[in-house]
């Protein structure tokens, strides 16, 4: 019975991880990894330290990379510190005001605002703002792919040991 509960908790973590790929408040890959970890605590599954350590390192790396990619996007396209700060503030405000769609428009509008505060024209501000948008989309895509892979791992582990659960 406890193994079924651990399975349900684990699958919920994996689903939360997929959602977290697009919602910045939820750490997507780390949530999906927690699902795999919870499943490994089941008595029905043979605990695999090596697999858990490798998948944890990958999840942590991708989570850290997610914060760096939008900054690189702004910097590569000529953004200033104001644009970086504006994109970060815009991400939070956009999420609060517009929900998930704010993830796209918030950083973009924030980067434009931050660049314009630094005395750039609207035209000059557009390019770094586009960099933040592209960076966020790339980061979300990477997190989504990894969370789907972790869901696949989770289901594969469960399928391998399914006879032990029932």
pLDDT at position 82: 85
Residue 146, CB-side half-sphere exposure with 13 Å CA sphere: 29
DSSP state letter for 74: H
* 16 has pLDDT over 90: yes
Of 2, 6, 3, nearest in space to 38 by CA: 6
DSSP, collapsed to helix, strand or coil, labels residue 93 as helix
Q: What is the pLDDT averaged over residues 48-53? A: 95
| 141 or 71, higher pLDDT | 141
Residues of the domain holding 146: 2-165
pLDDT of residue 22: 82
How many residues make up the chain in this entry? Answer: 166
Overall domain count for the chain:
1
Position with higher pLDDT, 22 vs 55 = 55
Helices (H) and strands (E) in the chain, counts: 7, 0
Q: Considering the chain, what is the average pLDDT of its residues?
A: 89
């Amino acid at each position: 019975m406890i193994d079924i509960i651990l399975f349900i908790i684990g699958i919920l973590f994996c689903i939360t991880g997929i959602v977290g790929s697009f919602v910045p408040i939820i750490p997507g890959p780390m949530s999906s990894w927690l699902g795999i970890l919870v499943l490994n605590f089941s008595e029905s599954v043979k605990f695999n330290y090596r697999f858990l350590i490798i998948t944890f390192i990958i999840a942590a790396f991708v989570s850290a990379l997610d914060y760096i990619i939008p900054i690189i996007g702004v910097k590569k396209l000529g953004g200033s510190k104001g644009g970086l700060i504006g994109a970060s503030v815009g991400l939070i405000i956009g999420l609060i005001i517009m929900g998930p769609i704010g993830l796209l428009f918030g950083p973009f509008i924030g980067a434009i605002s931050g660049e314009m505060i630094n005395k750039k024209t609207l035209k000059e501000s557009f390019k770094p703002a586009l960099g933040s948008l592209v960076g966020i989309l790339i980061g979300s895509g990477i997190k989504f792919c990894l969370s789907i892979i972790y869901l696949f791992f989770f289901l594969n582990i469960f399928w391998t040991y399914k006879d032990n659960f029932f």
